[in-house]
Structure 1
Amino acid sequence: MKNFISNEMESDNENDIDNDNEENNIENKYVNYIRVRDVYKRDIEFSKIILENIPPTVKRRRSFLSKNGVRIDMTVFNDISQLEIELANNVNQEKEDIVNRIHTIMFSLDCSNFVLDYLFSLLRNFEFQKPITPSLDILFKEAENLIHGTFYVAAKTDGFRRLIIIINNLMFSISENLRVEYVGQSRGKDCYIVFDCEFINDIFISFDVIYYNDDLRNKSYSDRVSILNKLNFQDFNNKIVKKDIIKCFNFADLQNFVISMTKENDTKSIPNDGIIITDGRSSYYDNLNVYKIKTINTVDLRFDGRYFYAKKTLVKKTKLNLSLPEYKKVCQLYHQHKKLYYKKDESNENNPTKVNTNHYYYKKQIENVNYVLSDKRDVRYRLVREKKIPFIVEINLDNKTLVKVRKDKYTSNSINTFNSILIASYQKINIEIFLPVSTVLMRKYHNRIKQNILNKYRGTLLDIGTGNGGDIHKWKNFRKIVCVEPDHEKIKVLNERVSKSEIRNRISILQNTIENVKLDNTYDVVSCFFTLNDLTYTSIFDMLENISKNINGIFSVVFFDYDLFTENINSSSITYKKCIDSETGNFTIEIDKSSPIYLLSYLRYAHSECDNIMYINIANSYITNKYENGINGNHVKKIFEKYGFKILNEYTIDTFPFLDESQILYTSNIKVIEFSNINNNH
C-alpha cells in the first residue's frame, strides 16, 4: 500500500515539473492536491478494511534445543499451538527410535488437539451414544422385538463416561466434555482402537468397541460384542477391562442377570446403579434401541441460585417437588460453588464486581440431514469459554432429594431426557421390576389392556366396582363419569384421588351395589373391569335387570374366565388356585370352616352360583388373601344375551414377553368381552 501511494505521488510530482506555464502550474497544484487527497482517502478506507477483517495477531515463539540434538520450535497465536520437531542430527536412527522420541516429547506437552483430531479423523461426526430411559409404553412396544431377536444386558456402572483411543500403543481417555488425558501404553501389535467405557476407581470398563482398524459404528451390537470378546485385554496393562455383557434369549435370562447383580452389588468394589439393555441388531447410531433402567431415577439439572433448568428450559419446582430442607441444601452448595469458581476484581476498586477464571468446554453443534439419527448428522465441536461455570446437580426423582453436585459435567440433561426420566419415576420403572417378586409390569400390562378398551369410546361412562380409583387417569375421553362402589373404605381413597384429578368436575360417586343402585341417566359406555368375579350368576342377572334400561351403547367386561383355568399358580409374586375339588366338593386349602368366607363360598358353590371359589394373593398390591368367584365365560354370555346384548368383540389377552412364567399363566386366564345393546333397549 505504501509503495502504491508513493508511486502515484511521484508521478504527480513529475507532471508538476514538466509544466512551465504558471497558470497551468497553479492548476496542476490544485489537481495534485485533489489526487493526493483521493489517495489518502483510499489509504484510509483500505486500512479500515484491513483492521475490520484481519485483526492483528499476537504471536509468541520459542525454540528449545535438547542434548540429543533435537530442535523444537513452538509458535502460539490466538490460543492455537503449532509444534515443529527437527531431527536433523538423528537421520541415521531407526524409524521406531525416532517415533518413540517424538512420543516422549508429546508426553510433556498438551496434546489434546492432536488426540481429538485423530478421533474425528477415525470417527467422522462422532457423538456419544445416549441410551434412553424407557416408559412403560416403550417397554410394552419393544419387548416382543427384543425377545424375538437377540438382546444383551449389562450392569450400568455408577461412574463417568469415557472413550479410550489407542494410537500406536498410546492410550488416551476422552471425556464427554472432550477432555483428554494420557492413560499409558499398551502392549501387542500397533493398531487403532476406540473403546466406549465407564470410568471408576482408576479403571476403564469397556462395554463397546466402535473402532478397530475400521469404523464399526454401522455394525450391529452383536458384531461389536464379538470383536470385543476377541481382544486380549491383558495387553492394556490392567488399565482397561471388559464389562460382563450377557446375551439374552428370553425374559428368564434377563431376570437371572438382575437377580445375580442385586445379590453381588453389595460385595463388589465397583458399584452398579442399573442395567443397560441393547438390541443385538442395533448400530451405534440407534440410540432408540438402547435402554437404560436405573436403580433409582435421577436427572442432572442446572441450578442458577433460584431455578432449575434442563439445558435452557425452565423446570417447574412442582415437577421436582423438593422439600424445603432439600432446596436449601442445593442453595447452600450453589453459593459454595460461586465462592470456589469466582473471585473479586480487585483492579477496579470503585466497582468490585466478580469475575470468573477462564474455563473452556466443547459445545456440540449438529445439523440434521433428513432428520434421521445416523452418520448423516453433521456434528461439529466448538471450543467456547464459559462466562459462568454452570452448577449441575443430580436430583433423585423417586424420593425427591439431592444426590450430589456433578462437577464433571458442564451441561445438564435435555428437557426430553428429563421428561422421560420423570415418567419412569412416576411409573415406578427401575431394575426391581425385573425381580421375581415384582408384579409391577404385570399390573401395568393389565392396566394397558383396560386403557386400550376405553380409548375406543367417548361420551358418558358408568364404571362398576371402581374400587380405589386406579382407573381415573383412563377416563379423560369421557365428558361425564359415574362411579358405583359399595365399599366405604375404598370410597375414602377414591374421593381423595378424585379431588386431585384434573377431571374431578366430571366425576360422580354412588356408594351402592350395582344390583340396587338407582340411575337417572342413560350411558354410552359401561366398564366392569375385574368386578364380575365378585358377583354370582344371580347377581349378574340382578345387575342387568336393574341397569340395562340405562345403557344404550357398549358394555365392556374384563374378568377371569374359569373355563380358561388350567392349573394352580404358586410363585413368589402370585398365588392363584381353586379352593374346591370339583370331584369331591371338598375344600383343597386350609380354611376356618366357621368363618363367614367358608360358609358363603360353600353356599355359592353348592347352589351353582359360581363354578368354583378362587384364592388369590398378588405381592405388593391391594389384592391380598382374597377369595373370588370362578365365573364361566359361556354362562356370562348367555345372561347378557337374555337382556338384548350382542357380542362385538371377545378375546383373551396376548402374553407380554417381559413377564415370568407364573405371571404369563395368570394373565392367560383373563377374558375380554365387549357387548352392545344399541337400539335393543327394552
Structure 2
Amino acid sequence: MASEAEKYKAPGINVELECRMIIPTVTDWEDYETLTIPYFRLMSHPTLNVRKVGNLIETKELVCRTNVDNVSIFVSIEKQYHTKLPDILIPRITRKVQRKIIKNKPLTVINCENKVFTLEIEYDISTVEECKDIIKSYLLPMWPAPKPVDAYASEFISKILHGKYCLTPKADGDHVVVYISFDDKSFYITDNGCIVGQRFTEHPKTVMEGEFADGEIHLYDVMIANGEDVTNLPLLKRRGYYPQYHFKDIHVFTTYNSLVKAFKKCKANFSTDGIIMTSMGSYYDTVYKSKSVPTVDFQYIDGYLHLANEKTSNRSPNGDVHLENGKIYEFDMKMNYIRSREDKIIPNYRMPVEVDPLSNIVNGYGIPNLRYHHNYVKLKMLKLLPQTTLLDVGSGYGGDINKWNQFEKVYAVDPELNLRSKPKNVIPLRCTAQAIPDIEYESISMFFVPWDFSILSSVSAKHVMMIVMDNPKTVINDLYSIKVIGDKVHVNIPGTVTAENIVESKVSVDDIDRFMKARKYECIKINYGMKFGSPEEIALSKMYSYLYYKRK
C-alpha cells in the first residue's frame, strides 16, 4: 500500500497513507485533547468526506483500502481549504473524540470515542518498518479473535457436506479472549478492547476464547497452550489441553439426522440468542452463526439508520425513541430499537443475509436442503454440455448465472426476466419460449419450467436438458402442499420465491422420451439421489426426474 500511495503523489496533492486498528483500553489516559468534529457532504461531490477542523475545511476521498489481519490500511487524497468551498455544506454527523499524539514521525495518534481506543498511524514508504513496530507494540496475541459470520442456508449446507462441524448455543453477551500467565495471573478482553483484570506484558501461558453472559465466562476454545500456538490443531485436541476448565458443550454431527440431534441438544443454562456452527478442524476455519431474531447495528444520521460506508439510507427507526446523531444503536429487522452500542465505533457493514438459516435446514422450512440439492444437480448437468452456446428457458432472476460462467454465450429467456446481474456472456431475451427469435444455440436447458410440449416443438439444439415433476404425489405437510387434481399439479412451497401457489400440467417422461426419439435424440438417463435433508424434502425430490437428450 505504501508503494501504491507513491503513485498518486504530485504537486498540489496531499496523499495520506494511514493504518488504523482498535487497541486495548489505554489505562494511563491523560493529557489528551478533546475534539468536536462536524462532518458534511457535498451535493456536487457525494464521494468526498468533508470535515471541519478549527477554521479549516478538509476534504478526503478514499482511493483504495485493504485489511491485513485486524489492521485497516487506507490511501486517500486530502485537500485543505482556508476559505469557503464553492458548494453548500450539508451537515451529516458530529463526532466527539479524545485525541492524544504519541509520536510525530510517523504521526501516531490514539483516539478514544465511546470508550473504544483506536490507533492511527500516518506513514509513508520510508517509515513502513517503524509503522510495523508501533503496531506490534500494541498487539495482544490472538486478539481480537475472529467473530462468527452470517451466511445463507446454502453456505451452511455446503460447509456441512464438505467438512466436520459441531454446534453450540451462542451466549447473548460479550465475545472475550482470556489470558493466563505462567504464574497464574489472568485478565480478559472484549472485542472493543475493554480489559477486565490486571493486564500483564509477558508472553501468556494460556489464551482461551469464550463468551461472557449472565455474570460468567463460558469458555469455548484454546489458542495458546503451555505458551505454544495450537490453533492449527483440531478443536477437540485444543480443548483437551486444560481438562480442569469447564468448556461449553459441543455437539458433533456428520449426517442430517445427527445434525437434527445436535441442534436439539443446544440448550444452555445461560442467556442465548442463537446457534454457533464451528469446524472441528483448525481454529481459523470460518465460524458461522444462526439467529432466530437477527439484529443489526446502525449509525443514526439525520433521522436515518446507516450501515458502514453507506452514503444514503431510507431506513427510519420505528416508534418514538430519542437517538443522538452519529451514535450507533442495535435494531431488529423491523427497525425496532433494542439498545445503544457504546462499545462500537463502526456499524455493521451489511444486513443479516438470512433469518435463522440453521433452523430452516434442520426443520426443512423453505426446503433449503432440496434447493441446494437441485442447484448441485443443475451444475452437474450443465457440465455435461459442450461449453459453447446455451439457451436457458425460464431464467427468472438469474439464479443460475454462476453456473453459466464457462459457456461462451447464454441466451436467458423468460417473459418476466429480471436478472440480478448481467455477465458479458449472457444475452437477456424477455420473451416466451414459443417466441424466441431466430438464433443459433447448441444446447438448451429447461429447469423447473411449467411443462408445455410446444416448447420442444421448435427445438433445434443438439443437447437438451430438463428437470420436470413427472411423479407428483398428493401430499400435504408442514413444509409444502402437492395436490394432483385431474391433469394439473398444484404446488405450494412456503418460503420459496418460485414455488408458492403455482399450477403445472402433468407430464410423462415416457411421452417426452417418445417425442424426442422420434426426432432422432438419444435418451441419457441421469440419477442424482438426494441424501442430505429432511424426510419430507427427500420425498419431494423423488417426484422430479432429470432428463438429458443428445441428438444422434
Measured against the shorter chain, the TM-score band is 0.5 to 0.7
1:451: how far off?
Answer: 6.2
Query: What TM-score comes out, normalization by structure 2 length?
Result: 0.58
* 1:221 matched residue in structure 2: 235
Q: Are the equivalent residues in 2 in contact too, given 1:498–1:507 (CA < 8 A)?
A: no
Change (3 A) 1:252 1:322: farther
1:173 to 188, 207, 224: 188
User: What are structure 1's unaligned runs of at least 5 residues?
Assistant: 1-59, 61-77, 80-118, 184-190, 234-241, 338-390, 485-493, 580-596, 602-613
* 1:487 matched residue in structure 2: none
Taking the aligned partners of 1:231 and 1:256, their CA distance within structure 2 comes to 27
> Is 1:160 matched up with 2:174?
yes
Aligned length: 400
2:216 to 203, 220, 231: 203
**Structure 1: which amino acid aligns with 2:458?**
I
Taking the aligned partners of 1:656 and 1:628, their CA distance within structure 2 comes to 28
User: What are structure 2's unaligned runs of at least 5 residues?
Assistant: 1-29, 31-100, 103-135, 199-203
Change (3 A) 1:440 1:627: same
> Is 1:293 matched up with 2:290?
yes
1:197: how far off?
Answer: 1.3
> Is 1:662 matched up with 2:536?
yes
1:136: how far off?
Answer: 5.0
Query: Could you tell me the percent identity over the aligned residues?
Result: 17
**Structure 1: which amino acid aligns with 2:430?**
S
Q: Are the equivalent residues in 2 in contact too, given 1:437–1:619 (CA < 8 A)?
A: no
2:145 to 119, 123, 128: 128
Taking the aligned partners of 1:543 and 1:442, their CA distance within structure 2 comes to 29
**1:644-678 Cα distance to aligned partner (Å, 9 max, x none):** 3345x642235363x2233234325543233345x
Change (3 A) 1:247 1:543: closer
Alignment of 1:207-606 (within 5 A): 207-215=220-228, 216-227=230-241, 230-233=243-246, 242-259=247-264, 261=266, 270-282=270-282, 284=283, 286-288=284-286, 290-300=287-297, 308=306, 310=308, 314-317=309-312, 322-325=314-317, 333-335=323-325, 391-394=327-330, 396=332, 398-399=333-334, 403-413=338-348, 418=349, 424-425=353-354, 430-445=357-372, 446-447=374-375, 449-450=377-378, 461=391, 463=393, 466=394, 470-474=396-400, 480-483=411-414, 494=416, 498=418, 506-510=428-432, 517=434, 521-522=438-439, 524=441, 525-531=443-449, 534=451, 540=453, 543-544=455-456, 546-548=457-459, 551-560=460-469, 562=471, 572-574=478-480, 597-598=485-486, 600=487
Alignment of 1:59-98 (within 5 A): none
Match of 1:277, SS state, is strand
2:159 to 128, 142, 146: 142
Match of 1:559, SS state, is strand
The structure with the larger Rg is 1
Between 635-644 and 164-173, the greater mean CA deviation after superposition: 164-173
1:399: how far off?
Answer: 4.1
Match of 2:343, SS state, is coil
Q: Are the equivalent residues in 2 in contact too, given 1:653–1:667 (CA < 8 A)?
A: no
**Structure 1: which amino acid aligns with 2:342?**
K
Change (3 A) 1:403 1:247: same
Taking the aligned partners of 1:201 and 1:333, their CA distance within structure 2 comes to 27
Change (3 A) 1:553 1:299: farther
**1:524-579 Cα distance to aligned partner (Å, 9 max, x none):** 253322346x56xxxx4x654x323xx345422112454xx9x99776435669x7
Match of 1:178, SS state, is coil
**1:488-510 Cα distance to aligned partner (Å, 9 max, x none):** xxxxxx4xx74998799934234
**1:120-179 Cα distance to aligned partner (Å, 9 max, x none):** 999846541333333455334322222xxx421111122111123344454422122332
Change (3 A) 1:192 1:502: closer
Taking the aligned partners of 1:325 and 1:392, their CA distance within structure 2 comes to 12
**1:156-214 Cα distance to aligned partner (Å, 9 max, x none):** 1221111233444544221223322239xxxxxxx954331111221211122334434
Taking the aligned partners of 2:430 and 2:358, their CA distance within structure 1 comes to 38
Aligned Cα root-mean-square deviation (Å): 4.7
Change (3 A) 1:452 1:273: farther
